[in-house]
Structure 1
Amino acid sequence: MDLASATSPGLPAGPTVLVPVGSTEQHGPHLPLDTDTVIAVGVATGAAGALGERGRDVVVAPAIAYGSSGEHQDFAGTSSIGTGVLHDVVVELTRSMSTWAARIVFVNAHGGNLTALRGAVAQLVQEGHEVAWVPCATEEVDLHAGRTETSLMLHLAPGKVRLDRAEAGNTGSLEELLPQMMAGGVKAVSANGVLGDPAGASAAEGATVLASMVEDVVAFVARMP
């Protein structure tokens, strides 16, 4: 069920609410600024459908479309609210939703949001709320705007992908690039904002990756009381 289009009396009693968490930030010359948000929504929607087939009452909330994206701030379009504000948004949303929902799960598709999510969820659990967060992740995911994210977007929102503008960026590992990124942001290691290579991306590969992400979220939520 989609929360935004539901009516108050039409909501099930004590549902699980999945809240997609993305970002508005540069994704190289070929992917849109809302890439992380599109992926988070796609994963949450797929997981809700699968959980509903198992008899769970699941509601997908509107996405949190702004995240902590300061590492991308050198690129136009990046719109970051920072870790502190995102932390507070997660806390206040959970406190509000907990008055009618049994549990809230934040489905996150942007690595820069981790500090805010971890801190907010830890605080909320101490307050007694049934809340958790889960990443949209598989072992095949590359760092940023490479083959995996491009494939996911070709599957989820092909009209937003500018394949004619796709180009490789820095293909180093996170371990190699992290010290420079911590000091100078993504621009310090990649002039075009891409960390990886989108070459070979396909909608079919995106569908496979999405299915794996959905499975992970379904398994996580299914284990919750």
Structure 2
Amino acid sequence: MTTTPPGEHGRRLGLGGVRWPTLEDEPPLVLVPLGSLEQHGPHLPLATDSMVACAATRAVARRLAAAGVRVLVAPTLAYGASGEHEDFPGTISIGHEALWLQLVELGRSACRWARGLVLVNGHGGNVATVVDAVTRLRDEGRPVAWTGCALAGDAHAGRTETSLLRHLSPWSVRVDLAEVGATEPIEELMPRLRGVGVRTVSPNGILGDATGSTAEEGRRLFEDLVERLFREISLLDVGDEGRLRSARPAGARR
């Protein structure tokens, strides 16, 4: 009788750990987590978006594999379009043009052997570029779609993301440094954010209120996120702008 070494199941779901002959007979669905390297207030790590996207994608992949789907998770793309955060040290943004080119070339290459590609985006600043890249790839006839890790709550480094990180990576969160940032609705803040950047709007980099977070709230948020992503990727029902939908409208055809 053989046993699976600890962690082996997770490694088998990582694209970087497989050998090419295993991909020839049964092309996989490939999931690509997208994140950023940008400030997340004084209390959260720069890689917050990447950490959330990677954790959610891997959790979804485990559920899909248990349901019989041949799926692999590509290494996380950890640099995104974060120009609005560049006034804060530590932020590294590659900009929209470089991100677009990276996504398009990644999709073109992966679709030569994968049965499909799903981008799982964890950073709101990437969305416009992701939509443009996926639209180009789909226009070229490639089976590519995207989904996101957005959750209801405050916009950036507030209670929502702080709770998520306290659940996923509690050692990375400095709860004692959590603060209140700019608390106006994101719809009101967005014109200023685009015009002058985050630091002018919120000197501590928080859009929301980072106090009052809990790991338990983070657990519930994460479970809800994984459940939604699982439904979307199981259906593979592609809607407007190449985004996956959780359920098809009544009467709609696949």
Which string of whole-angstrom CA distances, capped at 9 and with x for unpartnered residues, describes residues 37-95 of structure 1? 00000110111111112111110110000000000010000000001111111111111
1:142 correspondence with 2:182: no
AA in 1 matched with 2:133: A
Matched with 2:93 is 80
Give 1:166 deviation, angstroms.
1.1
TM-score (ref. length: structure 2): 0.86
Which string of whole-angstrom CA distances, capped at 9 and with x for unpartnered residues, describes residues 155-206 of structure 1? 1111111111111111111111111111101112100000011112111111
1:163 correspondence with 2:179: no
Partner secondary structure for residue 99 of structure 2: helix
Does structure 2 conserve the Cα–Cα contact (< 8 Å) formed by 1:71 and 1:186?
A: yes
Question: Aligned match of 1:172 in 184, 203, 207?
Answer: 184
Partner secondary structure for residue 9 of structure 1: helix
AA in 2 matched with 1:7: R
Greater shift in the superposed pair: 7-16 or 173-182: 7-16
Unaligned runs of 5+ in 2: 1-12, 238-254
1:5 correspondence with 2:17: yes
Give 1:10 deviation, angstroms.
3.3
- Following the alignment from structure 2 to structure 1, what is the Cα–Cα distance between the partners of residues 165 and 92? 20
Question: Aligned match of 1:202 in 214, 230, 241?
Answer: 214
1:116 correspondence with 2:135: no
Partner secondary structure for residue 106 of structure 1: strand
AA in 1 matched with 2:31: L
Partner secondary structure for residue 183 of structure 2: coil
Question: Aligned match of 1:218 in 212, 215, 230?
Answer: 230
- Following the alignment from structure 2 to structure 1, what is the Cα–Cα distance between the partners of residues 21 and 227? 30
Higher relative contact order (CA 8 A, sep 6+): 1
Partner secondary structure for residue 134 of structure 1: strand
Which string of whole-angstrom CA distances, capped at 9 and with x for unpartnered residues, describes residues 77-132 of structure 1? 00000011111111111111111110000000100001110000000001010001
TM-score (ref. length: structure 1): 0.96
Matched with 1:188 is 200
Does structure 2 conserve the Cα–Cα contact (< 8 Å) formed by 1:125 and 1:131?
A: yes
Does structure 2 conserve the Cα–Cα contact (< 8 Å) formed by 1:102 and 1:130?
A: yes
Question: Aligned match of 1:57 in 65, 70, 76?
Answer: 70
- Segments of 4+ in structure 1 off by > 6 A? none
Which string of whole-angstrom CA distances, capped at 9 and with x for unpartnered residues, describes residues 11-39 of structure 1? 47211111000000000000000000000
Unaligned runs of 5+ in 1: none
Equivalent pairs: percent with the same residue?
48
- Following the alignment from structure 1 to structure 2, what is the Cα–Cα distance between the partners of residues 142 and 53? 33
1:43 correspondence with 2:56: yes
Does structure 1 conserve the Cα–Cα contact (< 8 Å) formed by 2:178 and 2:210?
A: yes
The Cα RMSD (Å) is 1.2
- Following the alignment from structure 2 to structure 1, what is the Cα–Cα distance between the partners of residues 66 and 236? 16
